Structure 1
């Protein structure tokens, strides 16, 4: 290989690709609308298809070269709803950025209806290649053009650590929301809700790490628990007013590694209520190591509410007094 070829950027960043996808059945939770988590899954699938298209499938990168494809940033705006059985055109394009050690892409999702493509969502994505340490036999060196994007750890900055009182380690069960000194310290004096949760293996990948889709599931679940704690649970508003939450934007950034069976502390903080239309909240995730909190991810989500009119239609509504009071704490 000549020096000119070695100096060229990776094929991943030389061309755009387009892929046909469909949302998963699992994401059709309310009528046939697809939730924000599964819209983000479409974004992930599109980027993975882009890797395959240029001859760098995630499986080969891992099995042959010990390189784990890791999504570390995912920022998605949803303009219109996706439905079950929709056909989606996903265009993946290289995105200019200042971080030379990340593969960055923009992804545009279009709904294909009667031959017409309508832009429905867009996303910016960052990916790195994390070296595997558990695979056994030594891996073959990866392609030289991928070297700038390889790293031995997902840590993106030195984590800020907070001294904390000792707590019982390796808690059993799905999680806890009270009676924990760490949870109390994380939420004291704020409009926040916190949850302790043991990371199970189905949320992980490459044998040990909580993956981006796991954080998406965590964000969805902590919203659900927060609303229930404030007396405006999703089922209650469905039963009493036929209201559902809708998400125009979400983003998550992984800043360190969270490992299988660690206790993850997730803090959900309402930051802004815009008139009676939307509210924005921040999610911060930590693990407790050597009695110190290590931040592993942060993100934000914007919610509005819609009233279900029938099986195919809904309309945005303003927050009523009950909902507004609950959100403002």
Structure 2
């Protein structure tokens, strides 16, 4: 592994050809935002491999965990099943940064034309994990990006409630959930972090939070009476996501209870809405923020098995989004 004062991670651009997983094609042949972000993650991991610093070697040799701690992804053109996208990864790391920063661009060919389909800004921390003994010193060029834990500032203010005045309740009537949603246009749920959502033995990883964001949207829409199946049956509408962000703020551990709050922030011209996801764990009687993110949604009507087009919100959807139903 390279151990110089410069690293190909910082001064080279890499490309890789990737296909979305079959699992991500849930409606017709379109690929959902979660699996688009999986492609972004895989492109970054391949950049590490091509730079001579693969995630496996960093962990096994240096006790360094490659942790994606921030994703900011815009989808400009939909990806489809069987698409082969070209992912380009370039460093955006500045001299003062304490995390590695990258820009990932996915292009895809449509009718002989190469289209920019996805642009994502990614930040990566190298989290030291010596629970099984110390590793070799980090490569010199990577040492500025090593951290002993993931503890990052929130990208925007997050309304936190104070120390909990009540004990944790059950999944059917949890007072913590009631406290988190009181007076807000929000939905919340409590969920035990399972083993498959974690990596490096103990911590919830970025892909787990992507799955959490997808799940909480589904639950929110169902709770408001406009579940995905309902609008598919009634209108042939599907939700579409042009933009999503997730930032890790702290560490959530395997088998902790994760409290996820989904709050509608804005509805724009009856066409799109943005909502924030905030994730907490309870430690020592206090809520600890572990991740926050924002997702933008619109709706599209399925015209046939190949095509869809955007539609505006009707009164039923608007009432649900504003919590008036």
When the two structures are superposed, what TM-score results if normalisation uses the length of structure 2?
0.94
The reply on whether 1:251 has 2:245 as its aligned counterpart is yes
Name which of 169, 173, 177 aligns with 1:183. 177
The reply on whether 1:142 has 2:130 as its aligned counterpart is no
Contact 2:29 2:306 in 1 (8 A): yes
Unaligned stretches of 5+ in structure 2? none
Show the counterpart of 2:85: 88
Show the counterpart of 1:167: 167
Show the counterpart of 1:72: 69
SS at match of 1:100: coil
Relative to structure 1, the CA distance from residue 324 to residue 98 in structure 2 (aligned partners, 3 Å threshold; closer, same or farther) is farther
Name which of 116, 130, 137 aligns with 1:119. 116
Contact 2:103 2:121 in 1 (8 A): yes
Alignment of 1:260-299 (within 5 A): 260-299=254-293
Contact 1:165 1:181 in 2 (8 A): no
Contact 1:161 1:294 in 2 (8 A): no
The reply on whether 1:48 has 2:42 as its aligned counterpart is no
Q: CA deviation at 1:183?
A: 0.5
SS at match of 2:231: helix
CA distance, structure 1, for counterparts of residue 90 and residue 258 of structure 2: 34
Q: CA deviation at 1:10?
A: 2.7
CA RMSD of aligned residues (A): 1.8
Show the counterpart of 1:10: 7
Contact 2:73 2:243 in 1 (8 A): yes
Q: CA deviation at 1:77?
A: 0.2
Show the counterpart of 1:155: 151
Q: CA deviation at 1:128?
A: 0.8
> For each residue in 1:242-289, what CA deviation from the matched residue of structure 2 results, as whole angstroms up to 9, or x when unmatched?
000000000000010000000000000000000111000001110000
Contact 1:107 1:123 in 2 (8 A): yes
Q: After TM superposition, where is structure 1 displaced by more than 6 Å over at least 4 residues in a row?
A: 158-161
The reply on whether 1:310 has 2:265 as its aligned counterpart is no
Q: CA deviation at 1:130?
A: 0.3
Unaligned stretches of 5+ in structure 1? none
CA distance, structure 2, for counterparts of residue 252 and residue 99 of structure 1: 22
CA distance, structure 2, for counterparts of residue 198 and residue 327 of structure 1: 27
